[in-house]
Amino acid sequence: MEKQSPDWTDAMNLLTAHRQSRWTVKYTADRFFRFLCLGSVIFLGAVLGAIVLFVSETGFLVFRDVSLSEFFFSPHWDPEHGKYGAAVFIAGTLYLTLVTLLITTPISICVAVFIAEIAPPWLRQWLRTLLDLLVGIPSIVYGYLGATLLIPWIREHTGAPVGDGFLAAALVLSIMILPTITRITDDALCAVPNEWREANYALGGTTFQMIVRVVLPAAKSGIAAAVILGMARAIGETMAVVMVIGNVAQWGFDLVTPSSVLTSHIVMQILNVDFQSTTNHALYMMALLLLMISISLIMLIRRLRLKGGAS
């Protein structure tokens, strides 16, 4: 072999150095990217942790001035006279959610069954797109519709003097969460294997029997998750409810009497109170309750999903 000229060696060295530096750049970039992603997660976790901590810390201050039993069980909310019973709002939120779900769950499942099992494919695609768009409509628009169309209608048909109240709020929320529940139920129904449907027909079952005895039971946990998610949305909705519920802190379950729930009360009061006051702490405690309810609902969904995955 002939000896390599000095030029050639230099060139090789340069090339190796160049390659090495590119290698270094490439792997530094790789590690940097990983670092950025890790940083995002840590930032996300820290910020959200801070929110939960802050809300609970401020919220728990209320128990310096108000007893636990008064806050949770007394229906008298009158900060000017030192009465901080939040039971009105807690019961209001639970009641409103219950009424909403009673209205919207059967209808949503019905629509989802229609989309997943009955509608022809072209219509199915259109309806799904439509539902996806409806999820994005601002809640305030639903609230506005409720305030301008629904409330006069309720006043006319029930003879209620104001028309604001649980009925109006529940109807507005129902229309609002219907696309959410329907869409997720639809996904759950579509996940049921087609062989099962065919087995039903092979046994001579009708479509109706298939839906009730095969598809719905098989999609049970998915449907439950859909309803819970819709419930979480209904509990947390604020401004649409503010526009139709009447915002009066009074105990009662009459559907057409002005009332108040946790979210609407927080938003209506928070701007008028001093940050260091007991009222403010009580409002933060209500927000913490909302946070806790919503977190436990999601934990329930996770549990359901794990169970559904196992079977």
Question: By CB under 8 A, what part of segment 95-124 binds other proteins?
Answer: 107, 110-111, 113-115, 118
Q: How far is the C-alpha of 296 from the C-alpha of 288, rounded, in Å?
A: 12
Report the first-to-last Cα separation within the chain, whole angstroms. Answer: 71
Among 20, 24, 40, 125, binds other proteins (CB under 8 A): 40
If binding is defined by CB under 8 A, does position 86 make contact with other proteins? no
Phi, psi of 84 (to 5 degrees): -120, 50
Which residue in 167, 122, 130 sits closest to 146, CA to CA? 167
Site for other proteins in 249-288 (CB under 8 A): 263, 266-267, 270-271, 275, 283-284, 287
Site for other proteins in 194-253 (CB under 8 A): 206-209, 229, 232-233, 235-239, 242-243
Q: How far is the C-alpha of 116 from the C-alpha of 120, rounded, in Å?
A: 9
- Please count the residues of this chain forming the interface with other proteins, following the rule CB under 8 A: 80
If binding is defined by CB under 8 A, does position 56 make contact with other proteins? no
If binding is defined by CB under 8 A, does position 143 make contact with other proteins? yes
Choice between 11 and 44, CB closer to other proteins: 44
Among 11, 14, 17, 130, binds other proteins (CB under 8 A): 130
Element (H, E) at 218: helix 216-218
Q: How far is the C-alpha of 108 from the C-alpha of 189, rounded, in Å?
A: 13
Site for other proteins in 155-194 (CB under 8 A): 175, 178
If binding is defined by CB under 8 A, does position 14 make contact with other proteins? no
Tokens of 245: 């519920």
Q: How far is the CB of 38 from other proteins (least distance, A)?
A: 6
Q: How far is the C-alpha of 198 from the C-alpha of 194, rounded, in Å?
A: 6
- Let me know the angle formed at the C-alpha of 242 by 236 and 248, rounded to the nearest 5 degrees: 115
Q: How far is the C-alpha of 74 from the C-alpha of 89, rounded, in Å?
A: 10
Chain-centroid distance of CA 133 in Å reads 17
Stretch that binds other proteins, among 6-14, 61-69, 143-151, 158-166 (CB under 8 A): 143-151
Q: How far is the C-alpha of 264 from the C-alpha of 283, rounded, in Å?
A: 11
* C-alpha atoms less than 13 angstroms from C-alpha of 73 in its C-beta half-sphere: 4
If binding is defined by CB under 8 A, does position 149 make contact with other proteins? yes
Sign of CA dihedral 80, 256, 136, 128: positive
Choice between 16 and 206, CB closer to other proteins: 206
Q: How far is the CB of 9 from other proteins (least distance, A)?
A: 26
Among 136, 272, 310, 311, binds other proteins (CB under 8 A): 136
Chain-centroid distance of CA 187 in Å reads 17
* C-alpha atoms less than 13 angstroms from C-alpha of 287 in its C-beta half-sphere: 22
Q: How far is the CB of 4 from other proteins (least distance, A)?
A: 28
Stretch that binds other proteins, among 7-15, 32-40, 70-78, 95-103 (CB under 8 A): 32-40
Stretch that binds other proteins, among 2-10, 12-20, 75-83, 130-138 (CB under 8 A): 130-138
What's the DSSP call for residue 5? Answer: P
Q: How far is the CB of 112 from other proteins (least distance, A)?
A: 9
Choice between 250 and 294, CB closer to other proteins: 294
Choice between 9 and 277, CB closer to other proteins: 277
